[in-house]
Chain A
């Protein structure tokens, strides 16, 4: 049995809106094992982002406990958290943005920049290190944000709909590319998405979450062999999974 990188145990969360308490999450339990790619699939507004924030220790749940690498999470933990917007700082060049996690650790500037420069070709960003985010395309910004997330020294990554804002072609390219990247860096991933296809294509396991207040509706193991090619989306197994998830969503 592989060790668990992340465990959320019976998490409930809510927020106040004009003095009314709105439940966001209702006793959500999930885990991510070492090297596993797990997707959180659900309609928008189902509290998926809240789960990631709680997992990163950025938000305190009303009830329930969180463990990252066996340690209970009480405050912000060092984790490869990538928020929904690419969140490259507009005042920093691509190189400076990607080097942020290393600089925050107190690594010297020259060394940090060298490490980023070595990774730029892998992320298809070579030659753009001096560009500001405003000069980059959406796909490039997402790749840069992912590079930065990879450089956060942690074996766990929390990715919040990283491809949601992109067009279909860019999105599919990045999905394929990301799978190869993650394999290379051997990270465990909790991945938030509202796209059923994306979840099946990328994941080892999928948690389907209901509309607010979010609770886990179903859990699905994706047995598609890796490496997966694009054509897998037309296979009957893929379509079976899709049907199962759509049924779960309708019944939720």
Chain B
């Protein structure tokens, strides 16, 4: 019990110590705020701009949610197709990997040209970043389905719908959720990149504007929100995994 509380306190203590060190260094060497703002001035920027930051955060959040949803639909469709037809797997795997090999920074402007500067390109960038970990994990999950379990379904003369919901779906769930954890962490980054290049709202837009007016403390405030948002989405993915896979809970308890 004691050890556990120590495990929680230690990282928190290290973070606080680093912040204190940061504050002290900035003050002692009189580092200008536009170069490296102190944690306290970042906190002030955050508190003073809360309504505006909230508006931009909401815009980013919408893009993230929509992009993640789109990524899930695309990933599930791709994975099912690739699992059903081996030829499709062989044909689709290389372009899938290539789509991830091209840096998103290079692709984003092209997507902007194609889809305009509104919400659409942001959603597209998020989806592009997020669908890959999901699709790859799902394909692998479907490959790992125990063929003997499917044999068993055959001798029970179970229909395809029954097989899907009682064997395939639960079997791929752990793979889906570990993909989702990665995707959820990337998703905010995707939205920010989309926003850097255009648009009128979003944390990315806010960051660019702060940068052009040398309000570095505002930039840091936005970065802080990005970090918190990414962490929250990661935790949410973990919670969903916990919620939808009750059997994993009891097993880990044993």
Contact = CB atoms under 8 A, between A and B. Distances in A.
Interface in A76-90: 76-81, 83-85, 87, 89-90
Given A83-B148, A134-B251, A135-B250, A58 B156 contact: no
B212 to A, nearest CB: 53
Contact of B250 (A76, A87, A103, A132): A132
B166 A79 contact: no
Contacts of A89: 149, 166-167, 170
Given A100-B166, A104-B157, A132 B151 contact: no
Q: Which 8 A-B pairs have the closest CB atoms?
A: A76-B154, A104-B158, A134-B251, A91-B170, A104-B156, A81-B155, A91-B247, A132-B247
Contacts of B247: 90-92, 132, 134
Nearest to A75: B154
Contacts of B156: 78, 100-101, 104-105, 152
Contacts of B153: 104
A85 B251 contact: no
Contacts of A76: 151, 154-155, 157
21 contacts: A53-B151, A56-B155, A58-B151, A76-B151, A76-B154, A78-B157, A81-B152, A87-B146, A87-B148, A87-B149, A89-B166, A91-B170, A91-B245, A91-B247, A103-B162, A104-B153, A104-B157, A134-B250, A135-B250, A135-B254, A152-B156
A104 B170 contact: no
A92 B251 contact: no
B152 to A, nearest CB: 6
Given A90-B247, A91-B245, A104-B162, A134 B155 contact: no
Interface of A: 53, 56-58, 76-81, 83-85, 87, 89-92, 100-101, 103-105, 131-132, 134-135, 152
Given A81-B155, A87-B149, 5 more contacts: A56-B151, A57-B154, A78-B156, A79-B155, A104-B158
Interface in B198-254: 245, 247, 250-251, 254
Nearest to B249: A132
Contacts, number: 72
A92 B146 contact: no
A77 B166 CA distance: 20
A85 B148 contact: yes
Nearest to B148: A83
Contacts of B251: 90, 132, 134-135
Contacts of A87: 146, 148-149, 152
A90 B148 CA distance: 14
Contact of B155 (A78, A90, A92, A103): A78
Given A89-B170, A92-B166, A134-B251, A152 B149 contact: no
Interface in B134-151: 146, 148-149, 151
Contacts of B167: 89
Contacts of B171: 91
The CB with the most chain B CB atoms within 10 A, among A78, A84, A90, is that of: A90
A8 B166 CA distance: 32
Contacts of A100: 156, 158, 166
Contacts of B157: 76, 78, 104-105
A243 to B, nearest CB: 36
Contacts of B159: 104
B164 to A, nearest CB: 12
Contacts of A57: 154-155
The CB with the most chain B CB atoms within 10 A, among A78, A80, A104, is that of: A104
Contacts of B245: 91
Contacts of B146: 87
The CB with the most chain A CB atoms within 10 A, among B146, B151, B156, B173, is that of: B156
Contacts of A77: 155
Contacts of B154: 56-58, 76
A152 B148 contact: no
A131 B162 CA distance: 22
Contacts of A80: 155
Contacts of B173: 91
